[in-house]
Amino acid sequence: MKPRVEHLEEAFGIGERSPRLSWRLPPGADAQTAFRVRTTDGQDTGWLPGTDHVLVAWPFAALGPAQRVTWQVRVRTSLGESPWSPPCVLETGLLSPADWSARWIRPAEDSVAPAGQRPGHELRGEIVCAGPVGSARLYATAHGLYEAFVNGVRVGDQELTPGFTQYASRLQTQTYDVSALLRPGVNEITVLLTDGWFRGQVGLLRAADQWGAATAFLAQVHVDGRVAGGTGDGWTSRVSAVRAADLIEGQHADLAAGPGPWSPARLAPELGFDGLVGAVAPPVRRIEELRPVAITTLAPDRRVVDLGQNINGWVRLTGPAGAEVTLTHGEALGADGDVDMTHLAPALPFLPHPLSAGQVDRVTFASAGVFEPRHTTHGFRYVRITGLADFSADDVTGVVVHSDLTMTGWFSCDDERIERLHEAAVWSFRGNACDIPTDCPTRERAGWTGDWQVFVPAAAFLYDVAGFSTKWLRDLAADQWDTGVVANISPTPPAEGRHGPLGGWNGSAGWGDAAVIVPWEIYRAYGDVRLLAEQWDSMRAWLGFVERSAAAGAHPDPHLWDSGFHWGEWLVPGDVIGDMATYQARDFTDVATAYFYRSASLMAEIAAVLGHDPAPYAELAERVRAAWQAEFVAADGRIRPDTQANLVRALAFGLVPPEHTRAAADRLAALIRDAGTHLATGFLATADLLPVLAEHGHAALAYDLLAQDTEPSWMTMLDRGATTVWEWWDGVNADGVARDSLNHYSKGAVIGFLHRYTAGIRCLEAGYRRFRIAPIPGGGLTRASATHDSPYGRIRSSWEITDGVLRLTVEVPPGTSAEVVVLSATEDVGPGTHIFEHAY
């Protein structure tokens, strides 16, 4: 029955006093009529009538801090009364400032080196346990990144803790079970503390000290329900063997010189306990290890290791005593076969020269041993290693690091290239799910709103991103300006915020709309109504900004959004961005007004879900649509601008008057064919391109675009060696030269077409409580299959064509129903496995 708490596999250290519970129904059940929840400490709801079993409200009194509850559920369905589910444990963390008696401390640090060259510090303290330890917890967080050790043993397996949030408002705390690590008597707690996002370089500008000029650490240990100690008086600190650690620049460990001398750590009474939050998303972990597929010797002391896959993470290296090794991580090789770093260095018009690409680790081994730089990450497939006389593939391990999200989606078919494209998109997501959804794991690693808006539907099919997105949306709301502007990136480092040099680039259509679209997509995929309620004010503030911005434009119709800064369709093939002032002067009224309509119309739907009056939003949406049509649809139905992206967006959002839909879709098809069956979409419209074609009678063309292998196309990426999706269509040009990021998921959103059209799994009611299976075969495929683990259970659509017969197998989880559309026949089915056969 898979009981679950909130959106977490492990509900440990949660910050929620009334967490919602979910469970699945027994196989074969069609619907729940009643349920009963009990806890091992004797609470019991008795039988409660109800059909809901996804995100059910907490049925008991609100929880207190550090409270552990073991609960079970049983259900009444068509199959009768189920047995009790297996027990499920949840535990709260510390919930309010009053729960903390420990005090923040800082390492003794008299001078601070330039960003990127700052050493990590070790902190040390003791916890005395009077007698045998039953159950013990460590609660910890930091300004910076920390790793904690109890009696020399690393605590837990989370990486890059405390994670990345808008630190000015929210800081995550972690809860660890240290029962097995503490012993009676004196216990030593040591901590490695480095700059991380808090004080190290972040974002495009490589700005440091964004949330403070000093690092700090806070920990509290509870033994058998009582506070046993924590950070405060008596702690000491020293410079660690990590001589530099920075998320962008890399990590430098001098294991030969070792750590410096101890001195007293400093109390930081100015730091309080407001804004400390518990876990709502899975932590970052080391997820997978890769062996090199090739090692190329360029010179006696210069070798390039190829992991065969572009990843986010680091390399674990075994080295001999005394070796001084440098590891340089990149995504591409230059013509000389060496790692090319030039395309990863941010170059900005107002900077005299490109900034550092970073991604360099250095280690000096004292004795033969292992180096693993856990206080930085890199986006890379290749690593150049110098300073290591001789090594083999066994000495080098690629460590894949990202949020430990549960995989929920799979796709396969009999075209190996399409499968590889799907795989590349999955890897791009994995490369960009490092506690926040990032644009790329190299150049800026920033939580770009537009990127997540575009990719979230595909991501929500592949992985459970509900908690991950909830956490990020709270940052988005925290970052929102008082004008309602949604920042380009969340968390926003102040240097990239409103008052920084990039301040004027915020408030863009298609980016800011993430405030509405992301909660909506999460609601659709997971049925989370509370998230909509939580984000409602943020959405309203965004829509308010859009309305005012549109009204302030030059056009007499206040519903045409013709003012402000917009990224526009962004990175259409062959575009030259040029300087930003010129770019800014381009007219993106079509894009902006389309998104104005999109957000207003979604908010009408959201209002209805939340029980607010949808009419004002629906009416606003209608006025915006009318404005868009008046401006962009001619009397004969022709639509301008006459571009693929505009037609895709207009059709996908429902902006085209119904009588002209057919002609608009045909015009889109003609534009594609005139371009030699090539796409011309950029960031925003690419995800909808193939779906729109398929929806409007051009499925064959959609498959032709997918199969296209000349530039611009997805297959060109694969043919030029991509293992992740590129930022630009020509991320590597015909001469093999790389530009910008080679790991950006936005264009990989095309795989949503494989899930929703090729395999045909489409959500109809939130959480897939009701869904459609409507596969659209094509592209010469003779079989395709997709599986999605929805909140209600496993959905599968699998078809094959043999001897002129299309045979479709559909799996419908308990508690749900599906509308199956095969060719032109439609049938409604309930839970179970169903097989359909049609002449094809």
Pick 118 or 744: Cβ nearer ligand RAM: 744
Instruction: Compose the 82-121 pattern: x for residues touching ligand RAM by CB under 6 A, - for all others.
Output: ----------------------------------------
Q: Catalytic pick from 444, 521, 547, 569?
A: 444
Is 448 an interacting residue with respect to ligand RAM (CB under 6 A)?
yes
- Residue 129 near residue 235 (C-beta atoms within 8 A): no
| CA distances from residue 178 to 136, 160, 759 in whole angstroms, order as listed | 5, 19, 46
Reading the block at residue 100, the tokens are 């903390």
Pick 570 or 768: Cβ nearer ligand RAM: 570
Pick 440 or 495: Cβ nearer ligand RAM: 440
Shortest Cβ 591–ligand RAM spacing (Å): 13
Is 238 an interacting residue with respect to ligand RAM (CB under 6 A)?
no
Tell me the window of 13-21, 244-252, 297-305, 439-447 that interacts with ligand RAM (CB under 6 A): 439-447
Is 441 an interacting residue with respect to ligand RAM (CB under 6 A)?
no
| CA distances from residue 289 to 307, 431, 442, 716, 756 in whole angstroms, order as listed | 10, 14, 19, 28, 31
Is 570 an interacting residue with respect to ligand RAM (CB under 6 A)?
yes
Is 595 an interacting residue with respect to ligand RAM (CB under 6 A)?
no
Shortest Cβ 65–ligand RAM spacing (Å): 39
Shortest Cβ 402–ligand RAM spacing (Å): 18
Q: How far apart are the first and last CA of the chain?
A: 39
Tell me the window of 8-16, 219-227, 265-273, 443-451 that interacts with ligand RAM (CB under 6 A): 443-451
**Catalytic residue list contains 122:** no
Is 513 an interacting residue with respect to ligand RAM (CB under 6 A)?
no
Amino acid (one-letter) located at 353: H
Tell me the window of 27-35, 135-143, 407-415, 436-444 that interacts with ligand RAM (CB under 6 A): 436-444
Pick 326 or 743: Cβ nearer ligand RAM: 743
Of 58, 567, 703, 714, which one interacts with ligand RAM (CB under 6 A)? Answer: 567
Shortest Cβ 310–ligand RAM spacing (Å): 16
Report d(CA 72, CA 2) in Å as an integer: 10
Concatenate the DSSP letters of all residues of 446-508 into one string.
Answer: --BHHHHHHHHHHHHHHB--HHHHHHHHHHHHHH--TT-PPPSBSSPPGGGSTTSTTGGG-S-
Shortest Cβ 586–ligand RAM spacing (Å): 14
Closest CA to 646 of 705, 699, 595: 595
Pick 584 or 677: Cβ nearer ligand RAM: 584
| CA distances from residue 107 to 112, 123, 216, 582 in whole angstroms, order as listed | 11, 7, 7, 47
DSSP, res 756: I
- SS3 of the chain: helix, strand, coil, percent, to 5: 25, 30, 45
- What residues between 735 and 754 interact with ligand RAM by CB under 6 A? 744
Pick 565 or 753: Cβ nearer ligand RAM: 565
Q: Residue count at the site for ligand RAM (CB under 6 A)?
A: 9
Shortest Cβ 446–ligand RAM spacing (Å): 7
Reading the block at residue 179, the tokens are 């029962």
- Residue 358 near residue 377 (C-beta atoms within 8 A): no
Neighbours of 291 (CB within 10 A): 12
Report d(CA 401, CA 390) in Å as an integer: 27
Is 439 an interacting residue with respect to ligand RAM (CB under 6 A)?
yes
Is 6 an interacting residue with respect to ligand RAM (CB under 6 A)?
no
**Catalytic residue list contains 444:** yes
Reading the block at residue 143, the tokens are 């300004």
Of 93, 398, 431, 450, which one interacts with ligand RAM (CB under 6 A)? Answer: 450
Tell me the window of 413-421, 446-454, 490-498, 820-828 that interacts with ligand RAM (CB under 6 A): 446-454
- What residues between 481 and 510 interact with ligand RAM by CB under 6 A? none
Shortest Cβ 832–ligand RAM spacing (Å): 43
Pick 440 or 648: Cβ nearer ligand RAM: 440
Cα-Cα-Cα-Cα torsion 607, 611, 616, 617, nearest 10 degrees, comes to 10
Q: Which residue has the tokens 């609960």?
A: 71
Pick 682 or 752: Cβ nearer ligand RAM: 682
Is 451 an interacting residue with respect to ligand RAM (CB under 6 A)?
yes
Neighbours of 36 (CB within 10 A): 18
Peptide bond into 162 cis (omega under 30): yes
Report d(CA 14, CA 95) in Å as an integer: 9
Pick 221 or 742: Cβ nearer ligand RAM: 742
Shortest Cβ 490–ligand RAM spacing (Å): 12
Concatenate the DSSP letters of all residues of 669-687 into one string.
Answer: HHHHHHTTS-----TTTHH
Q: Catalytic pick from 109, 547, 569, 727?
A: 727
List contacts with ligand RAM (CB under 6 A). 439-440, 444, 448, 450-451, 567, 570, 744
* Residue numbers annotated as active site: 444, 727
